[in-house]
Amino acid sequence: MAASKADILTLAKAGFSAKQIATILNENLKENLDGEPPVPTPVPVPKPEGKSESKNESENNNENAFQLMNQKFDQMIQLMQAQNLMNSQQPKQETIEDIMASIIDPNGGK
């Protein structure tokens, strides 16, 4: 029995290389030609590279990243507020003399 295209695609999607797939198919072909019933061999499932941490560890890493990001945003907001306060100009406080002068001469001597 020859392997179907679906079998080959399944092996490819599982992470096997073309050489590994050819080896598996050749072994199955030899067994079928010998007339012996093929014994299903357990297919090792390749582990994804770089994915050694568990879900709990990745969730903790995500939580730590969010906390760090929030701290950085808070620092940035505080710096922007401080900068805005430094650049802001308060209106000049009018003294009693200024108020009396505006009452006496509303045009300001012009």
Triad 45, 19, 43: Cα angle to 5°: 25
Per-residue pLDDT in tens (0 to 9) along the chain, 110 residues: 456 778 888 888 888 888 888 888 777 666 655 555 556 667 676 666 655 556 677 788 888 889 999 999 999 999 999 888 888 877 788 899 988 998 998 887 66
Task: Report pLDDT for 9.
Answer: 82
Domain ranges of the chain: 1-52, 54-110
Closest by CA position to 19, among listed 7, 29, 11 = 11
Task: Report pLDDT for 31.
Answer: 62
100: which 2 tokens?
């009396």
Q: Buried b / exposed e across 57-85, counting CB within 10 Å, b at 16+? A: eeeeeeeeeeeeeeeeeeeeeeeeeeeee
Task: Report pLDDT for 85.
Answer: 84
- Do residues 39 and 31 touch, judged by C-beta distance below 8 A? yes
